[in-house]
Chain A
């Protein structure tokens, strides 16, 4: 089954404790992306990647890191989480960029206390 998976689905952590949210797709897609969703603000793009070893900043990259060492994986790293990073996070992939439909993962609900 074609899908995007994210782990963990729920995470409660404390300020400053490094964490990684994993994202994996099995569709051989070139493009992968991370979004955060906050009430009243819709989805905002954090980082995206056009291919292996190619990553670019989205609208809200501050406080986040990403890497794309393999085509299927695109982890999101919070080196020192803060309470304003409490949000619902989505990973997505598409065949080859923003001109193609995106497939979304189920979401990761992160709470930073």
Chain B
């Protein structure tokens, strides 16, 4: 399966600190996306990075992509309690429109 894996599975930090989570996947991709999920609710799209991009920013989010290592990282700077959620990476397979999610990182930001 193409399904990715996030690392770490769980992360607990103090408010104001930076949070970094990593995603690894198995086959070639066209793009990689990051999503956030609050406690069993629907996922919310955060950012999309294409395979020819190496870094992308959106507000307090910074995403990197290393296609040679088949990995991506999501950095959340100056974290807030409201950032407490699970974070998932998701990839397509460059041969079609199937979508693959990783297993997620559970982030807890302590006020």
Contact = CB atoms under 8 A, between A and B. Distances in A.
- Do A and B belong to a common assembly? yes
Interface of A: 4, 31, 33, 35, 40-45, 48, 50, 56, 58-59, 88, 90, 92, 97-107, 109
Interface of B: 1, 3, 30-31, 33, 35, 40-45, 48, 88, 90, 92-93, 96-104
A97 B103 CA distance: 21
A19 B14 CA distance: 45
A41 B93 CA distance: 19
A28 B1 CA distance: 31
Contacts, number: 73
29 contacts: A31-B97, A40-B103, A41-B103, A42-B102, A43-B88, A44-B3, A45-B98, A45-B101, A48-B99, A58-B99, A88-B40, A90-B43, A92-B43, A97-B92, A97-B97, A98-B31, A98-B93, A98-B98, A98-B99, A99-B30, A99-B31, A99-B92, A100-B48, A102-B35, A102-B43, A102-B45, A102-B99, A106-B42, A107-B42
Given A42-B102, A59-B3, A107-B40, 11 more contacts: A40-B103, A42-B88, A42-B101, A43-B43, A45-B98, A48-B99, A88-B40, A98-B92, A104-B43, A106-B41, A107-B41
Nearest to A4: B42
B98 A101 contact: no
A89 B43 CA distance: 12
Contacts of A107: 40-42
Nearest to A43: B101
A42 B104 contact: yes
B53 to A, nearest CB: 13
A45 B31 CA distance: 17
Nearest to A42: B103
A76 to B, nearest CB: 15
Contacts of A105: 42
Contacts of A35: 101
